[in-house]
């Protein structure tokens, strides 16, 4: 008589892949990633604003302040957005990304209309991507609880 092969028991408590990094690494990354992105953003803003000319003190200060504002907004968004639903969560990150790209483009002596258009295009793309990601994750979590 044939018997079915035994299946491994799935634990209901484990819903994600195993975590290879420790809690300390995750806490460090929550600050290190925004900091690195803010430094890159600030440098990029300063480089776009000087139009290939020499680096000045005002140019450096503008890039530094832009990076600080980027860092503070990123941390605020990182703490507020996950508490919202999938649509507002995606919309906040899309608005942040689109406005950052629009600001970068505006610093490179482009027209206001072109920078706004490019910021909106990027924001729409980011919204579509993140909306799909967060909505798909909600669906998986709902199926696991049922």
Asked if 48 contacts 110 with a C-beta cutoff of 8 angstroms, the reply is: no
* Domain assignment of residue 113, given as a range: 84-146
Residue 121 lies in a domain: yes
Same domain? 88 vs 146: yes
Give pLDDT, residue 65: 96
Do 120 and 106 belong together in one domain?
yes
Q: Which of residues 146 and 133 earns the better pLDDT score?
A: 133
Average pLDDT over residues 1-15: 62
pLDDT digits (tens, 9 = 90+) for 77-135: 999 988 888 888 899 999 999 999 999 999 988 899 999 999 999 999 999 999 998 88
Count up the domains in the chain and report the number: 2
Question: Would you say residue 4 lies in a domain?
Answer: no
Instruction: Mark whether 74 and 93 lie in a shared domain.
Output: no
The three-state secondary structure class of 69 is helix
Q: Do residues 74 and 131 share a domain? A: no
Q: Are 81 and 126 in contact (CB under 8 A)?
A: no
Residue 92 forms part of a structural domain: yes
Compute the distance between CA of residue 123 and CA of residue 108 in angstroms, rounded to an integer.
19
145 and 90 in a common domain: yes
* Within a domain: 35: yes
Residues 6+ apart with CB under 8 A from 38: 67, 68, 70, 71, 74
40 and 66, same domain (yes or no): yes
Q: Is 104 exposed, middle or buried (0-12, 13-18, 19+ CB in 10 A)?
A: buried
Band (13; pLDDT cuts 50, 70, 90) = low
Do 74 and 59 have their domain in common? yes
The CA distances from residue 47 to 33, 55, 96, in Å, are 21, 8, 21
Do 79 and 98 lie in one domain? The reply is no
């Amino acid at each position: 008589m044939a018997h079915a092969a035994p299946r491994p028991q799935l634990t209901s408590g484990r819903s994600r892949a195993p975590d290879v990094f420790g809690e300390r690494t995750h806490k460090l990354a929550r600050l290190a990633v925004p900091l690195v992105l803010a430094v890159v953003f600030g440098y990029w803003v300063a480089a776009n604003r000087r139009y290939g000319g020499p680096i000045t003190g005002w140019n450096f200060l503008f890039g530094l302040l832009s990076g600080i504002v980027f860092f503070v907004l990123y941390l605020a968004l990182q703490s507020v957005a996950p508490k919202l639903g999938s649509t507002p969560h995606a919309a906040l990150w899309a608005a942040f990304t689109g406005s950052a790209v629009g600001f970068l483009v505006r610093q490179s002596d482009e027209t206001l209309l072109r920078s706004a258009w490019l910021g909106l295009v990027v924001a729409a793309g980011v919204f579509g991507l993140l909306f799909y990601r967060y909505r798909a994750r909600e669906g998986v979590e709902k199926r696991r609880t049922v």
